[in-house]
Amino acid sequence: MSLGKVYLLGAGPGAADLITVRGARILGQADVVLYDALVTEEMLALCPQAEKISVGKRSGQRSTAQTLINRQLVECAQKYKLVVRLKGGDPMLFGRADEELRALETAGIEVEIIPGITAALAAAASSHQPLTRRGIARSVAFFTSSTAPGQPEQTTLPDCDTLVQYMGGKEAIATARKLLDQGRSPDLPVVVVENCSRENERIMRLRLCELEQGLAHCQGPILVMIGEALAARK
**CATH number, residue 50:** 3.40.1010.10
Expressed as residue numbers, the domain containing 61 is 5-114
Contact partners, residue 106, CB within 8 Å, separation at least 6: none
Please check whether residues 37 and 106 belong to one and the same domain. yes
Please check whether residues 70 and 164 belong to one and the same domain. no
pLDDT (tens digit per residue) in 141-157: 999 986 565 666 777 89
pLDDT (tens digit per residue) in 66-98: 999 999 999 999 999 999 999 999 999 999 999
pLDDT (tens digit per residue) in 194-219: 999 999 999 999 999 999 999 988 88
Which residues form the catalytic set? 36, 57
Please check whether residues 97 and 132 belong to one and the same domain. no
Please check whether residues 17 and 84 belong to one and the same domain. yes
Has residue 190 got a pLDDT over 90?
yes
End-of-domain residue from the set 91, 114, 137? 114
What's the pLDDT at 234? 82
pLDDT (tens digit per residue) in 40-70: 999 999 999 999 999 976 555 545 689 999 9
Please check whether residues 154 and 169 belong to one and the same domain. yes
What's the pLDDT at 63? 57
End-of-domain residue from the set 75, 90, 114? 114
Contact partners, residue 6, CB within 8 Å, separation at least 6: 73, 76, 77, 83, 84, 85, 104, 109, 110, 111, 112
Please check whether residues 123 and 215 belong to one and the same domain. yes
pLDDT > 90 fraction of the chain, expressed in percent and rounded: 86
Please check whether residues 136 and 215 belong to one and the same domain. yes
Query: In whole angstroms, what is the distance from residue 100 CA to residue 186 CA?
Result: 41
Query: In whole angstroms, what is the distance from residue 30 CA to residue 5 CA?
Result: 10
What's the pLDDT at 155? 73
Tally of domains within the chain: 2
Please check whether residues 10 and 110 belong to one and the same domain. yes
pTM: 0.90
Tell me the pLDDT of the chain averaged across its residues: 93
Please check whether residues 156 and 81 belong to one and the same domain. no
Please check whether residues 222 and 164 belong to one and the same domain. yes
Quick one: three-class SS letters along the chain?
Answer: CCCCEEEEEECECCCHHHCCHHHHHHHCCCCEEEECCCCCHHHHCCCCCCEEEECCCCCCCCCCCHHHHHHHHHHHHHHCCEEEEEECECCCCCCCHHHHHHHHHHCCCEEEEECCCCHHHHHHHHHCCCCCECCCECCEEEEECCCCCCCCCCCCCCCCCEEEEECCCCCHHHHHHHHHHCCCCCCCEEEEEECCCCCCCEEEEEEHHHHCCCCCCCCCCEEEEECHHHCCCC
Query: In whole angstroms, what is the distance from residue 123 CA to residue 162 CA?
Result: 13
End-of-domain residue from the set 114, 139, 171? 114
105-132 average pLDDT score: 98
What's the pLDDT at 8? 98
